C-alpha cells in the first residue's frame, strides 16, 4: 500500500499551484512523508489543519518549516521558484473572535502564495459602526474574504458596501440553531448582496487559495 | 359536527384579547360563521389570511367590515369596548418589497389592537446606509418588529442599533437555499445581537400581537 | 493578533448594556483578558458558559467576582454605575429538572441587570395540575421566560393562561427524536398560543437579557 | 397487468380484519374494482381518502355504500359477518378545527369496526381549561386517540391526565416551522408523558384501526 | 434550589403508576435522592438509563435494590402495594443482537409493573424463516413490542402476521444512512402493516410502560 | 442555441448502449428532435418519463414507435443492430400496486435491451406469505430488481431469501413520514441483508439498465 | 404604500452597478414600474426571472426592451453610460440540456454588463471526453461559470483542469435524491478541486454578475 | 440471555455465504464467541470493523486468524470448503487517500470470498488525467467498486467510461457540508451515469460482498 498517496507533482504545471496537504485525518508520519515528497520535487509546501504533534515532528526533521498556530498551517518556502507579490492586497474580514482560526487559515494561505493581506477583524453586524469605520480600508483591497459564523450576515453587509468580489466563508462557530455552520452557510448562499460567492464551512484555505487566483488575474 | 369549532369567548377575560380567526384553511362560510359568532359576543373581530372570496362574502353580509388587501386581514371594530391607544409606537421594519404582506399583517394587527405604528420599509442590509438614515425614526418606537426573508440578517443589524425589544419575523421569500424561510429563521435564531426573539415563518400576526402586549406593559 | 478581540466599549451608550463575554470557546486566559478589559472601562461584567477552570483563574485574579455554578455564569458588579431595580418581576418557568442550567442562566442574567425574578420550576405539561397551582404566582410577573426541552409544549400552555409576553427557550434536553432541541424549537415556533416568541436552543442568556429590556420599558 | 392488485382475501383470517382500500392515488375505476372484489368475498368494505368523483361512481354502482365526507371514507357494511360492539368506548380528542378531517377518519374507522366513540373536539392546549372540563368524559374511554397539528402538545397533556393508552396522530395542519406535520410528529415522539405512542402524520385510519384492536383485547 | 426536582407523588393516584427516574443526565447523587424520595412515599421505584457509578452508590445505600445491567435499569420493589400479574404475556421481539439493551429495557420495565414477558430475540427480516418459526409463540402474547434498528422493517412483517397491537421501538443501532435511528423511525411510521404505533428512538421504557397499560385493560 | 443538446452518438461504442432520452422536463418538440437524432444514427431509441402529448406527437411522426403507458416509456426498435437475448431472466418484484409505474419502467427498460423478465407484483412485507409463495420463481432469475415505497422493507426480506444481486428501487409512494421516498431510500441503504444496492428514488430506468448490464456479464 | 419599493439609485455610484429587478414574485405592473424608475434615472435596466406576461407588457410600453426567453431576462441598454468591453471572455459551461436556462441567465447577465462570453454546453462528467475536447477553449477564458444539476460534479472536474476562478452554480434539475438542487449544492461546496466557489441554487444572475466583477479587476 | 445471538448457520445453504460478524459495537468477548461459533460449524469466518483489542484476543486464542489493519478485517480461512477463484477481477477505485480504509474493506472482503482484485487508488476527479491513465486497467475488471468521500463524483466519471456495473460507496470523509457522507451519498444516487448503484456510507463490506455475488454469476 506504499503507493496509496500519489502526490500529483504535475499539478503545478496544470493549475499553477503545488498540491496541498490536508493534515486533518493524517498521522504525523503521513504528513511528514507527503511534506518531504513535495519538497523533494523542488516546490514550496503548504499543509493545513496541522496539529501540534505533527508540527513537532515536522520541525524536528525539516529545516525552515514555519508554523502558524492559530491558522493551524505548517509551510516551507525553500522551493526552487518563489511566487512574485501582486501589487494589490486581499482583505480578510471577520465577524467575531471565534472565527479567527478560519480567518487566519485564509490569510496565511494567501500570504503563502505571495499576496499581501489586510486583516480587518471583529467587525460583526451587531455593531455595524465598527464595520463602517473600516470600509475605506476594505475598499483598498482587490478581493475581500469575509469569515463569519452564527447567522453569517457579514458578507451581505460588506457586499453592499464594496464593488469587489466577496468570498464568504461560513464557520462552525455557534450553538443550537447554528447547526455547526449550516445557519451561516444558508445565510451566505441566500445573501441579498450581489458579488458574493461561498466556500465550504470552515474552509479558510479554499477562500485564501481562490483569492490568490483572482488577485493574479 | 355543528359544534366542531368552539369559539373561546372566555379568552378575552383570561388573556386580554378576543380569539382570532385564522382563515387560511377555512371556507368562506366557515370564516363568516366564526366572524359572526365573535361579533355577536360584542367583541371586535380580527381574521387573518383572508382570501378575496371570503372577504367578498364578509363585506356583502356584515356592515362595517374592513379589508386590508396586502395584509390579507379582514376586521370589524364595532365591538362594545374599544382599546385605548398607547402613547408609544410600534416600529415595523422590512428588508425588501416581497416581505411587505407579512409586514403589513404585523402592522395592521398592531393597529387593530389600538397601537400607533411606524412603517420603515425596504431597508435591507445590502444597502446599510438606507437603514442608518432611518435609525432615529426607529429609535422613537417602543418595540421593533423586523421582517426579512432570504438570509434574514436585518434583525441582527437593527438589534445592534437600538436598545428596544426586537421581534424578528422570518419570511418565506427567496429561492434555492432559502428553503421557504428556513435560512432566515436560522439566521434570526442565531443572531449575534441581543434583545432579539423570533416568531414562526411568515407569522406577521404573531409579531403584531406580541408587540401590542409589550407596548401595553 | 493582539487586537483580535475589540471590546465594544461604546455599546453601553448605544444599546444600554455592556458587552457580554461568551466563554464557551475561549481559553481561561482569553476570558480573563476580556473580563479585565470591560472591568477597566468601569462597567459591570457578565460572562456566560464559564467552565470551572476559567472561573478558578478569574477568582484567583479578580476580587469580588461571583460564580453561579448551575447557571455557568461569572460576574462582577463593582462597576461605576449600578442598574436600578424595576418594581416588577420576571418569571422563569421550567418543565423539568434537566432544564435547570438554562433556566438559571436566564434568571441570573436577569438579576445581573437589576431585576427581581420568580423561579417556578419543574411544572411540565404531563402534570398540568402542578402548573395550574402556580398560575397566580406566574401572573404576578411582567414577563415570563419559559424553558423546556423534549416536546417543548410548556410555552403553549403558559401562553394560554397569561396575558404577558412569553419568551420561550428550547433546550437540548432529550434524546432520539428530540434531536438536541429541534423538537422543542419547532414546537415553540408553531405554538398555538399568541404572545410567544422564541430564542435559540439553550440560550438562557438571550432570554434573560430580552426580559430585562422589556421589564424596563 | 390485470392481476397487479392482488386483494389479500386471506388477511381476515390471519389478522382479524379485511384489507382496506387506500384510495388516495387510485382512479375511481381502480377504487370501485377493489371495492367490488372485497364485497364479492362477503366482507364489509372500507375505503379511505376517497375523493368526490370516486364516491359518485361508487354510489351510482353499489347499493348501500355510505360516504363520510369530512372523514373522506366510503364504506359498505353488508358483509356476511358483522363485528360485535365492545362495551367500552374509544375517545377521539382534537386540538383544533383544522384537525377535524383526520379525527373523523379515526372515528369513522373505529365505528366501522363496531366500536362506540366519544368525540371531544377543539380542546387545544392554549386553552387548557377547555380540556380540563372534559377530562371526566375522556376518562370513561378505554383508549384515547389524540389528534393535533402545529406543535402537537395535546397528547402530552392528555397523557398526564389519564391512565389509558394514548394514540397520538400528528396532522399536517400548520405553516412555516410546522413543516407539514414534522413539528407535531417530533413533539409527540418526545412527549414527556408515558403511555403515548404515535402513528404517521395524518394517519387517522391507522389510529382508529389500532384503537379497535386494543378495544377488543 | 433544593426544591428543583419536585417528585410528582400524586401521579400514582392520577395515572396509575409512580413517577419514574430518567437517570441519563443526572449525577449519582441526584439519582439516589430522587430514588429515596419515591421510596419514602411507599411506592416501588424504577430508574432507567442508570450508569454503573450510580448503581454502585444505590446498592451501597439502599437495601434490596436490583440492577439489570443490559437493560440499564435499577429498581426497588419493596413498596406498600405490589402490582398483580395479568394472565396474558407481553412479547418482546428484536431484530439483532445490538438492539438487546433497548429490548431489555422494555422487558424489565414490563416485568417491574407485574407482567409476564416472552423474549423472542434476533429474528431480523433478512432471515425471515427464523421469525416464522417463532410466530406461534408471538401469537400467544396479548401485545407485541418490536425493537429494531437499521432499516426497522421488523414491525411491518410482525404486524402482518398477528392481530395484536404492535408497539414499534426504533433503535439508534446502525451507521451511515441509519442516522442514529432516523431510518428505523421513518420505516416504522410508514409501515404498511396496520396495528403498529411507534415510540421514540431507543425508548424501551416507553414501550414497556405502554404495553403494561394495554395488558391491564 | 441549436447545438444545445449534443447527442453522444459515440456512447454506444464506449459503454455498450445508446444514449437515453429523459423526457420529464422536455417539450414534445425537444423529445421528438432527440428521438430522431438517435434514430438517424441507426440505433434503437429509448425515451423515459414520456407524457401523453409527447407520445402523441411521436406516434404521428415516427412509424413503429411503441408506447408503454404505465411505464411512461416510448421506444423504437428499428435500429441497425438488435441486442441478443440472454438465457437468464431479470426478476421485477414490487411491494404494492402504487409502485407499479416504477416497476414497469424497470421491466420495459430491461426488455428494451433484449432481456426476459419475470414480474412478481404486490408482495409487500405486511403479508409475507404472499412473498414466500413466489420465492421459487424469484430464485430462477439471475438478478432481482425490488421496487418499494413507504418503509421500503421488501429488499431486506428478498435479499435474505436469494443469493443473487438485488437492485433496490425506493419509490415516492406514501405520505407523511414517507417524505416522498426518503423513508424507503434510507431503509434500503441500511438494509440488514447483504447483496443489496440502491438506485435513486423512482429510478426504474436505472435499475433496469443496470440489471441488463449484469445479466450480460 | 406607494413608496414601498425604494429603488436604490445611489447603488451605481457605490458598487458600480445599477439595481437589478428580480421579477419572480412581482406583478407585471410592479415590474414595469420598477423598470421605468431605473430607466428614468438614466441607467441601463436588467430584469431577471421575467415571465411572458410581464415581458408582453414591457415590450408594449417601452421601446427597445430586449427579451431573452430561455434566460428569462428582459433588459434595456439605452442608458446614458454604456459599459466598455473587457478584452477577456467569461466561460459558461453546463452539464446538461436541462441546465440551459440557468446557464443562459448567467451568460446574458455577463453580456449585459459588457462582457464577451464563451458557451460550452452539454459536457457532463458522465462523458468526460466531451469535456476534454473543449478544455483548450475553456482555458482561453478569464473566469469560468460552471452550471450543473443532479450530482453537480462538473465544477470539480473543470476546477482540476484550469487555473482560473470557477464559479459553480447548482441547479434544481433532477429528481428524487437530487432534492431540488441540494445534492448539487453539497457536491459543489465539498468539491475536492481548489479555486471553486458556489452561489445559490439556480442563481445564474449571481454567477454572471460576479464573473463581471472579477473580469473587470 | 446466553442465546441472544443466534448465529444463522443455515444461511450458507440459503444465500451461498456464511454469516458475517459486524464487530463495531461488540466487546472482544462477544466477537470471539461469534467467531468460534461459525468456525465450529466448519465455515470460513469474516469479521469486519474489528478493533485492535478484539484482534489481539482473537490472535491469542485462534490459530491462523489473519488481520488486515487498514481494512479493519479479521478472518480465518480454515473452513471445510474453500471458494474457487473466478477468472475475472473486481476493480476497487478510490478518490483519495482518506477513503483507503473503506476501499480496503471492500477489497479484502472480495478476496475473502475468493476473488482477484485490482486496486486503482487516489484517482479523484480533480485530477481527471490520473484516472484516464488507468482506464484500460479498470476496463479489464468485471465489476468496479468506486469509493469516494467529499462530493462523491468519481462514480459518475467512471460510470461514463466503462460498460460494467459500478458499485458506488460513499465515505464519511470530509468536513462541513460533506455532512459525514451525505454529500457523497446524494451525489452518487443522482449520478448522471447509468449502471451505477449505491450502498450505505462507509459500507466497504457490502460493496465487496455484492461484487463477489456479481462476479460469480
Give the residue from chain G lying closest to F171, CA to CA.
Answer: G176
- To the nearest whole percent, how much of chain D has pLDDT over 70? 92
Same structural domain, B124 and B211: yes
Pick the last residue of a domain from E55, E76, E97: E76
User: Tell me, what's the pLDDT at G1?
Assistant: 29
Task: Using CB atoms within 10 Å of the CB of residue E66, give its burial: 0 to 12 exposed, 13 to 18 middle, 19+ buried.
Answer: middle
**Of G125, G103, G114, G116, nearest to G203 (Cα)?**
G103
Model confidence at E6, pLDDT cuts 50, 70, 90, reads: very low
Same structural domain, B119 and B169: yes
User: Tell me, what's the pLDDT at E137?
Assistant: 96
The closest CB to that of C97, out of E5, E10, E202, belongs to E5
Cα separation of H155 and H7, whole Å? Answer: 35
Q: Which residues in chain F are contacts of E178 at CB distance < 8 A?
A: 186, 190
Cβ distance of E213 and D14 shorter than 8 Å? no
Cell numbers standing for residue F132: 414466500
CA distance G188 to chain H (A): 7
CA distance A86 to chain B (A): 29
Cα separation of B173 and B94, whole Å? Answer: 12
Q: Is residue A123 part of a domain?
A: yes
Cβ distance of B175 and G201 shorter than 8 Å? yes
Q: Is residue D104 part of a domain?
A: yes
Contacts of H154 (CB under 8 A, 6+ apart): H93, H94, H95, H123, H124, H125, H131, H146, H147, H148
Q: Which residues in chain F are contacts of G70 at CB distance < 8 A?
A: 1
Residues A73 and A109: beta-carbon distance below 8 Å: yes
Cβ distance of D125 and C125 shorter than 8 Å? yes
| Residue pLDDT, tens place only, C55-106 | 899 999 999 999 999 999 999 999 998 999 999 999 999 988 889 999 999 9
Is the pLDDT at E17 greater than 70, yes or no? no
Pick the last residue of a domain from D32, D53, D76: D76
CATH of the domain at C149: 3.40.50.1970
Q: Is residue B4 part of a domain?
A: no
- To the nearest whole percent, how much of chain B has pLDDT over 90? 76
CA distance E89 to chain D (A): 12
Give the residue from chain G lying closest to F8, CA to CA.
Answer: G127
Residues F154 and F124: beta-carbon distance below 8 Å: yes
DSSP state of F123: -
Cα separation of C123 and C96, whole Å? Answer: 7
Cα separation of H188 and F203, whole Å? Answer: 13
Cα separation of A44 and D69, whole Å? Answer: 76
Instruction: Count structural domains, chain G.
Output: 2
CA F145 to chain CA mean position, Å = 9
Model confidence at B54, pLDDT cuts 50, 70, 90, reads: very high
Same structural domain, F142 and F116: yes
Model confidence at D7, pLDDT cuts 50, 70, 90, reads: low
Cα separation of A130 and B107, whole Å? Answer: 32
User: Tell me, what's the pLDDT at D4?
Assistant: 39
Cα separation of A174 and B192, whole Å? Answer: 9
User: Tell me, what's the pLDDT at E2?
Assistant: 31
Residue whose C-alpha cell reads 364578509 in the numeric block: B58
Q: Which residues in chain D are contacts of B5 at CB distance < 8 A?
A: 97, 122
Cβ count near D52 (within 10 Å):
11
- Mutate one of G14, G31, G181, G200 to test the B interface: name it (highest B CB count within 10 A): G200
User: Tell me, what's the pLDDT at A96?
Assistant: 82
Pick the last residue of a domain from C52, C76, C100: C76
Same structural domain, F109 and F189: yes
Same structural domain, D32 and D131: no
Cell numbers standing for residue A5: 498517496
The Cα-based distances of F31 to F20, F46, F62, G172 in angstroms read 11, 11, 12, 20
H49 φψ region: left (φ > 0), alpha (ψ -120 to 50), beta (else)? left
Task: Using CB atoms within 10 Å of the CB of residue C77, give its burial: 0 to 12 exposed, 13 to 18 middle, 19+ buried.
Answer: middle
| Residue pLDDT, tens place only, G67-121 | 999 999 999 999 998 999 999 999 999 988 889 999 999 999 999 999 999 999 9
> C198 - beta bridge partners?
B198, C168
Is the pLDDT at D14 greater than 70, yes or no? no
D180 φψ region: left (φ > 0), alpha (ψ -120 to 50), beta (else)? left
| Residue pLDDT, tens place only, G186-199 | 999 999 888 999 99
Task: Report the alpha-carbon angle E35-E38-E41, nearest 5.
Answer: 145
The closest CB to that of H192, out of G151, G156, G182, belongs to G151
Is the pLDDT at C203 greater than 60, yes or no? yes
Same structural domain, H100 and H206: yes
Q: Is residue E58 part of a domain?
A: yes
Is the pLDDT at G45 greater than 70, yes or no? yes
CA distance H143 to chain F (A): 9
Helices (H) and strands (E) in chain D, counts: 9, 9
| Residue pLDDT, tens place only, E55-109 | 999 999 999 999 999 999 999 999 998 999 999 999 999 988 889 999 999 999 9
Cβ count near C27 (within 10 Å):
12
Residues C164 and C197: beta-carbon distance below 8 Å: no
Contacts of F11 (CB under 8 A, 6+ apart): F17, F18, F19, G127
Cβ distance of A189 and G200 shorter than 8 Å? yes
- Mean pLDDT value across residues B178-187: 96
Residues H107 and H208: beta-carbon distance below 8 Å: yes
Same structural domain, E39 and E102: no
Same structural domain, F71 and F94: no
Cα separation of F190 and F188, whole Å? Answer: 5
For strand G166-170 and strand G196-198, is the pairing parallel, antiparallel, or unpaired?
A: parallel
Is the pLDDT at E143 greater than 80, yes or no? yes
Using DSSP's 3-state secondary structure scheme, residue F197 falls into strand
Q: Where does D16-148 have alpha helices with state H?
A: 28-40, 52-61, 100-112, 128-132, 135-139
- Mutate one of F122, F192, F193 to test the E interface: name it (highest E CB count within 10 A): F192
Q: Is residue C39 part of a domain?
A: yes
CA distance E31 to chain H (A): 27
| Residue pLDDT, tens place only, F104-124 | 999 999 999 999 999 999 888
Query: What's the complex ipTM?
Result: 0.93
Q: Which residues in chain E are contacts of F133 at CB distance < 8 A?
A: none
Residue whose C-alpha cell reads 428499428 in the numeric block: F78
CA distance A140 to chain C (A): 21
Q: Provide the number of CB pairs (under 8 Å) joining chain E to chain H.
A: 37
> C46 - beta bridge partners?
C75
Helix or strand run (H / E) with residue C168: strand C166-170
Task: Using CB atoms within 10 Å of the CB of residue E25, give its burial: 0 to 12 exposed, 13 to 18 middle, 19+ buried.
Answer: middle
Task: Report the alpha-carbon angle D186-D187-D192, nearest 5.
Answer: 125
Cα separation of C158 and B208, whole Å? Answer: 19
Name the stretches of chain H with pLDDT < 50: 1-6, 14
Cβ distance of F195 and H15 shorter than 8 Å? yes
Q: Provide the number of CB pairs (under 8 Å) joining chain G to chain H.
A: 118
CA H77 to chain CA mean position, Å = 17
Q: Is residue D2 part of a domain?
A: no
Same structural domain, E21 and E111: no
Same structural domain, C37 and C126: no
CA F112 to chain CA mean position, Å = 10
Residue whose C-alpha cell reads 400524586 in the numeric block: E10
Order of strands across the sheet that contains H66-68: H21-22, H45-48, H73-76, H66-68
Give the residue from chain D lying closest to E169, CA to CA.
Answer: D197
Model confidence at F10, pLDDT cuts 50, 70, 90, reads: low
> F48 - beta bridge partners?
F22
Q: Is residue C15 part of a domain?
A: yes
- The predicted model scores a pTM of 0.93
Identify the domain containing residue D192 by its residue range: 89-215
Q: Is residue H84 part of a domain?
A: no
Q: Provide the number of CB pairs (under 8 Å) joining chain F to chain H.
A: 96
Same structural domain, D210 and D189: yes
> F67 - beta bridge partners?
F74
Interface D:C, ≥3 CB–CB pairs < 8 Å:
yes
Question: What is the C-alpha R_g of chain B?
Answer: 18
Residues A212 and A110: beta-carbon distance below 8 Å: yes
Same structural domain, C69 and C151: no
Q: Which residues in chain G are contacts of H193 at CB distance < 8 A?
A: 125-126
Q: Which residues in chain E are contacts of C171 at CB distance < 8 A?
A: none
Model confidence at A3, pLDDT cuts 50, 70, 90, reads: very low
What string of H, E and C letters represents the secondary structure of H5-52? CCCCCCHHHHHCCCCCEECCCCCHHHHHHHHHHHHHCCCCEEEECCCH
**Of D153, D91, D102, nearest to D126 (Cα)?**
D153
Amino acid at each position: 500500500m506504499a503507493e496509496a498517496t500519489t502526490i500529483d507533482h504535475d499539478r503545478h504545471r496544470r493549475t499553477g499551484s503545488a498540491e496541498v496537504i490536508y493534515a486533518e485525518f493524517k498521522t504525523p508520519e503521513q504528513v511528514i512523508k507527503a511534506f518531504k515528497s513535495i519538497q523533494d520535487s523542488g516546490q514550496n509546501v503548504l499543509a493545513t489543519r496541522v496539529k501540534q504533534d505533527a508540527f513537532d515532528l515536522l520541525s524536528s526533521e525539516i529545516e525552515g518549516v514555519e508554523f502558524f498556530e492559530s491558522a493551524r498551517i505548517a509551510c516551507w518556502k525553500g522551493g526552487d521558484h518563489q511566487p512574485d507579490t501582486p501589487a494589490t492586497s486581499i482583505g480578510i474580514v471577520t465577524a467575531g473572535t471565534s472565527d479567527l482560526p478560519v480567518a487566519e487559515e485564509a490569510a496565511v494561505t494567501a500570504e503563502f502564495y505571495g499576496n499581501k493581506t489586510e486583516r480587518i477583524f471583529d467587525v460583526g453586524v451587531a455593531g455595524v459602526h465598527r464595520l463602517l469605520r473600516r470600509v475605506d480600508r476594505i475598499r483598498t483591497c482587490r478581493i475581500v474574504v469575509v469569515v463569519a459564523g452564527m447567522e453569517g450576515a457579514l458578507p451581505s453587509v460588506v457586499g453592499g458596501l464594496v464593488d469587489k468580489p466577496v468570498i464568504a466563508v461560513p464557520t462552525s462557530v455557534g450553538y443550537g440553531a447554528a447547526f455547526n455552520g449550516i445557519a451561516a452557510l444558508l445565510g451566505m448562499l441566500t445573501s441579498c448582496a450581489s458579488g458574493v460567492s461561498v466556500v465550504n464551512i470552515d474552509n479558510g484555505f479554499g477562500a485564501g487559495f481562490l483569492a490568490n487566483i483572482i488577485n493574479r488575474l
